[in-house]
């Protein structure tokens, strides 16, 4: 296997190669650091490369292998990237803001600790939009994150750097987060598989969630099995978590190896009173409907009414941005505009209550269906800088018109996935998303694995990388 092929080898396979002593952790880290050095200036996937820490960790793990340990954690020696919204001890964490580019946290998120305990080696911090509030990644303090399929276009956001890193072979797998599509949109833009887990699946400790339950950590990967296995690593709660879920009977990796059975799937290509998908996004959904029918699943054109979620979602999101406590003058115009209206505690509490009431009503939709199939976004990815000249109000409206299908899963706390289904006329990846029942990631993962087997995407790589 040459270096190029190794860079795009699934993370689970890399872990196997390490356990079999066919490659060392140091070999892998040096490979990815070299690719980052070569490719990151072009794609802007990483804000910070933790080269010294990664090399030292890799050397220690390589030396440990020489002692022939009897047991190793599941991803021992495999490199990974961490989104720059998640603190890593001793590594700069900017949250995509100019005010925090020199901030070095003295703690790290529980999810990062879990990733370390699984044996991963952290390569660095991937690019995010400012405070994670944009579905594209163009902060003022760093170069924009670009799509490896065509660098004129966005890699998505807010986990744009995570997706660009995996798509360009600068990391085999990535930690990301999703508060309004921030895993699904980048995965879709870059032709990858992403999981937005159920609310309560992953602990947000130690800081907790300032977005009223909208946001969660999750994986972006090139294969369903890799993402499922990383979700196993990231899952779990600690005392004090506001939202919790019991551990599933079977691991998510096991779910990726099981047939999903015959599923009842609802689908839609429009979001009521908000927007209708363009021809390309409609085509992605309808082609997937046909494939589902061929696989024996039943499909019905139907979608829950989510119009009532828009206002409380916006209120909670605005409050979360304001709670970042970043100096107003350092923020981009849209974020300044978002928090320019002071939201009272009463308004916030009412918004959370309204969202929860409507979420329970929407959850009842799944009494008749196992899954809901939707576009990830309602039109093709935008070019880098395409909206930079617009007013904050127009940018915000454009965002709603683009990623409207994503908010349902965040507002309700339901799990969702994004997976590739082909390419559009520009040669950019096309994707769809599935939303599942409460805490039913296993069903989503089993179906995704079935679709991956029938129409594999793992060997399709951006032409400019060959």
What residues are annotated to the active site? 83, 158, 182
Q: What are phi and psi of 363, to 5 degrees?
A: -60, -30
Q: Which residues contact 202 (CB under 8 A, 6 or more apart)?
A: 111, 216, 217, 218, 234, 235, 236
User: If we measure between CA atoms, which residue out of 408, 428, 417, 422 comes closest to residue 454?
Assistant: 422
Find the distance separating the first CA and the last CA of the chain, reported in whole Å: 15
Helix 224-234 to helix 11-19 angle (10° resolution) is: 80
Q: What are phi and psi of 208, to 5 degrees?
A: 85, 180
What does the angle CA 196 – CA 198 – CA 200 come to, to the nearest 5 degrees? 125
Counting Cβ atoms within 10 Å, is residue 336 exposed (0-12), middle (13-18) or buried (19+)?
Answer: middle
User: If we measure between CA atoms, which residue out of 192, 194, 132, 133 comes closest to residue 164?
Assistant: 192
User: If we measure between CA atoms, which residue out of 171, 175, 102, 164 comes closest to residue 138?
Assistant: 164
Query: What is the DSSP annotation of 349-395?
Result: HHHHHHHHHHHHHHHGGGGS-SEEEEESSSSPPPBTTTTTTS-HHHH
- Rounded Cα gap, residues 182 and 47, in angstroms: 17
- Rounded Cα gap, residues 380 and 154, in angstroms: 10
User: Which residues are bridge partners to 88 per DSSP?
Assistant: 91
How many Cα atoms occupy the beta-carbon half-sphere of 222 within 13 Å?
A: 24
The enclosing H or E element of 435 equals strand 429-436
- Rounded Cα gap, residues 29 and 121, in angstroms: 8
- Rounded Cα gap, residues 441 and 255, in angstroms: 9
- Tokens read off for 343: 């939201």
Q: What are phi and psi of 459, to 5 degrees?
A: -90, 5
Contact call for residues 134 and 399 (beta carbons, < 8 A): yes
Exposure letters 448-465 (e unless 16+ CB within 10 A, then b): bbbbbeeeebbeebbeee
């Amino acid at each position: 296997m040459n270096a190029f092929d190794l860079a795009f080898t699934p993370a689970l396979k890399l872990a196997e190669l390490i356990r079999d002593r066919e490659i060392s952790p140091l070999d892998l880290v040096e490979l990815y650091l070299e690719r980052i050095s070569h490719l990151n200036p072009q794609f802007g996937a990483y804000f910070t490369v933790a080269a010294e820490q990664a090399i030292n960790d890799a050397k220690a793990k390589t030396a440990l292998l020489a002692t022939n340990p009897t047991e190793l954690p599941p991803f021992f020696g495999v490199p990974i990237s961490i989104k720059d919204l998640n603190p890593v001890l001793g590594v700069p964490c900017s949250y995509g803001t100019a005010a925090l580019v020199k901030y070095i946290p003295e703690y790290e998120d529980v999810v990062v600790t879990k990733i370390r305990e699984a044996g991963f080696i952290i390569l660095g911090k991937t690019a995010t939009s400012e405070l994670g509030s944009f579905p594209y990644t163009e902060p003022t303090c760093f170069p924009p994150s670009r799509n490896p399929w065509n660098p004129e276009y966005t890699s998505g956001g807010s986990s744009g750097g995570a997706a660009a890193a995996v798509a360009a072979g600068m990391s085999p797998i990535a930690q990301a987060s999703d508060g309004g599509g921030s895993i699904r949109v980048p995965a879709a833009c870059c032709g990858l598989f992403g999981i937005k887990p159920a609310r309560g699946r992953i602990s947000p400790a130690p800081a907790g969630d300032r977005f009223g339950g909208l946001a969660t950590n999750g994986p972006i990967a090139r294969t369903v099995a890799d993402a499922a296995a990383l979700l196993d690593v990231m899952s779990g709660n600690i005392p004090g978590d506001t939202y919790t879920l019991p551990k599933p009977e079977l691991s998510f990796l096991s779910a990726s190896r099981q047939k999903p059975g015959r599923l009842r799937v609802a689908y839609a290509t429009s979001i009521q009173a908000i927007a209708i998908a363009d021809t390309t996004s409609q085509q992605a959904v309808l082609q997937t409907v046909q494939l589902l029918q061929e696989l024996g699943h039943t499909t019905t054109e139907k979608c829950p009414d989510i119009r009532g979620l828009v206002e409380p979602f916006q209120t909670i999101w605005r409050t979360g941005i304001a709670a970042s406590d970043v100096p107003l003058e350092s923020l981009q115009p849209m974020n300044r505009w978002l928090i320019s209206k002071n939201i009272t505690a009463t308004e916030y509490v009412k918004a959370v209550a309204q969202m929860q009431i409507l979420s329970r009503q929407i959850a009842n939709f799944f009494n008749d269906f196992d899954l809901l199939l939707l576009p990830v976004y309602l039109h093709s990815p935008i070019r880098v800088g395409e909206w930079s000249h617009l007013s904050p109000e127009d940018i915000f409206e454009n965002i709603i018109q683009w990623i409207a299908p994503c908010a349902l899963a965040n507002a309700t706390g339901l799990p969702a996935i994004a997976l590739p289904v082909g390419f559009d006329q520009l040669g950019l990846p096309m994707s769809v998303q599935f939303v599942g029942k409460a805490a039913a990631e296993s069903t989503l993962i089993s179906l995704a694995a079935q679709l991956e087997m029938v129409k594999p995407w793992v060997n399709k790589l951006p032409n400019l990388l060959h």
